[in-house]
Amino acid sequence: MAKETIALNGFDMTLDQAWAIAKGDANVDIANQAHKRLDKAFDTLMTAARLGKPVYGLTVGVGLNKDHKLFDASGEMTEEALKASREFQYNALRAHSAAVGEPMPAELVRLGMVVRLNTLLHGQTGVQPVVADLYEAYLDNDIVPVIPSKGTVGEADILMASHVGLAMLGEWEVYYKGERMSSSEAMKQAGIKPLSPIGKDALSILSNNSFATAYAMKALKDSEQVLNVAPTLFGLSLEGLNGNVAPFLPQTNDVRPFPYVQATADTILNKLDGSYLWELNQDRPLQDPLSFRTSGYTFAMAEKAADELEKMLSIHINASDDNPAVVLNPGKEYVNKPQVAKYLIDGKGGVFPTTNFNPLPVAMAVQQLSVAMTQVSHNSVMRTTRLSDDHFTHLPRFLTAPGNVGHAFGAVQKAYVDLHVRNKQLAQPVSFEGVAIAGNIEDTFTNLKLASDNLIQIADNMSYIFGLELFHSAQAIDLRKMDNPKLMLGKDTGKMYKEYRKLVKFVDKDRAYTPDFQASSEFVKAY
């Protein structure tokens, strides 16, 4: 079957489309109007250079040397000037290829390259159009630069992204056709001509947040998988407890109409359609432990945080995070002010210094979701502990099966408590951590990559924490069925219970639980 081809224009790429290209399920094509924007932006940038406009990264250097002029651009650019520009491009990519750590997973490298290609097509970078063509060629030929996974403070991933440019020059290593080889050899085999950079090509390739963004997208994807499972898994735990549905009723939540809360509660109740919990039961308490009663709020706030992160990412991947920005149709605000007028190019647009490389909106949303996920973690470990407590369930202590004279579930609590403590640590904010660098110019941070790494780990831990909750709730259900073989579960909770029991069997006597916990985690990730 032929692959789908997704046309990118810089303005409306969805997260799902980015993932489809990254996974190799779709090829990429650059829309015609996007190519025209690239041409116009590059022409605007070169015009600025010819007019002697100070352009950060073009007519003046970068970082500590930003006041060092590379060449005189007051007139037409000479061969000498072009040579100086190219030398600057090569040196910039070499000097900034300085990350550390294990190589990024190939899928995330590709995802970062998809993001960067689309943001290039937004039209504010001023690169040669061939730069975008090379991103497209690398993606469609599955040439994956080897990029170390650490070395960014969240104000553009310059030490990581530079490796893409170095590969395009033919001076780095890539994965191609299942082998790690020189990028020059891979491009030769694929029939791709190496990049000959000028102008702002190098700066545009290295100064962006695309790879940290890829990790943020993975963090969101992993978190959403956990949250998608949550209402059904919680419903099964409520059935294991013989809990009360009252906290999730419309009559309850309409009194305090916070957004997301009633919708989440409705989802929980729908999962319990057909459950015995809708029937009267004299043993059922009026009020359950708070970790059960408040879970509607907990899931709702996590869903809200996930939606906010998705919103911020959707904006970010369809916009420019370049500095400077080539603005093709600048607004008229303040243009009569000399300080603003200096950035304008008559009839062409303007080249403006920016701080659009600061991904704080995304970083804050990632950290907000980390906190929300850890609240989910908290409620889960508390619910699991209550499920093994005979005071709350009126089942055997530690969910011990009849005839089992061993420990049953008495010792397993340490596993999920360990993971929850880790989640609490991982949820601590990191966006204001760092020290001033680059000659004390770069003195603030977002640490988007680190924040995203933390959320990815939280989501992975949650697959185990939820897996252990499911391990307990299924055991509780089985014990209840021994007393009442006709016990009815909800349509959706019953389906989850049956699917889970195909992988993890009832614990009738003590056994090694490690394989069960691994299987439970994998079940949560795949359900």
pLDDT by position in tens, the chain (length 527): 678 999 999 999 999 999 999 999 999 999 999 999 999 999 999 888 878 787 665 666 544 445 545 445 455 566 776 777 788 899 999 999 999 999 999 999 999 999 999 999 999 999 999 999 999 999 999 999 999 999 999 999 999 999 999 999 999 999 999 999 999 999 999 999 999 998 899 999 999 999 999 999 999 999 999 999 999 999 999 999 999 999 999 999 999 999 999 999 999 999 999 999 999 998 899 999 999 999 999 999 999 999 999 999 999 999 999 999 999 999 999 999 999 999 999 878 999 999 999 999 999 999 999 999 999 999 999 999 999 999 999 999 999 999 998 899 999 999 999 999 999 999 999 999 999 998 999 999 999 999 999 999 999 999 999 999 999 999 999 999 999 999 999 999 999 999 999 999 999 999 999 999 999 999 999 99
Using one digit for the tens of pLDDT, what is the confidence trace for 6-19? 999 999 999 999 99
Identical fold for domains 4-208+323-352 and 217-313+359-526, yes or no, is no
Domain regions of the chain by residue span: 4-208+323-352, 217-313+359-526
Q: Which of the 8 DSSP states describes residue 78?
A: P
Contact partners, residue 336, CB within 8 Å, separation at least 6: none
Residues in the chain: 527
Map residue 26 onto helix, strand or coil: strand
Count of C-beta atoms within a 10 Å radius of residue 52? 13
**246 contacts: CB under 8 Å, gap ≥ 6:** 252
User: Which spans in 77-125 are helix H?
Assistant: 79-96, 106-121
Q: Is-contact 103 146, C-beta < 8 A? A: yes
Which CATH number is 217-313+359-526 given?
1.20.200.10
Helices (H), 151-209: 158-169, 183-190, 201-206
| Virtual torsion, Cα 407, 412, 413, 416, nearest 10 deg | -170
Q: What is the Cα–Cα distance from 192 to 358, expressed in whole angstroms? A: 33
CATH superfamily, domain 4-208+323-352, is Fumarase/aspartase (N-terminal domain) (1.10.275.10)
Coil/strand/helix, residue 122: coil
Q: Is the dihedral of CA 283, 288, 289, 292 positive or negative?
A: positive
> Cβ–Cβ contacts within 10 Å for residue 499, how many?
12
* Four-point Cα dihedral 372, 373, 376, 380, nearest 10: -160
Tokens of 171: 């001076």
Distance CA 328, CA 348 (A): 7
Q: Are 209 and 158 in contact (CB under 8 A)?
A: no
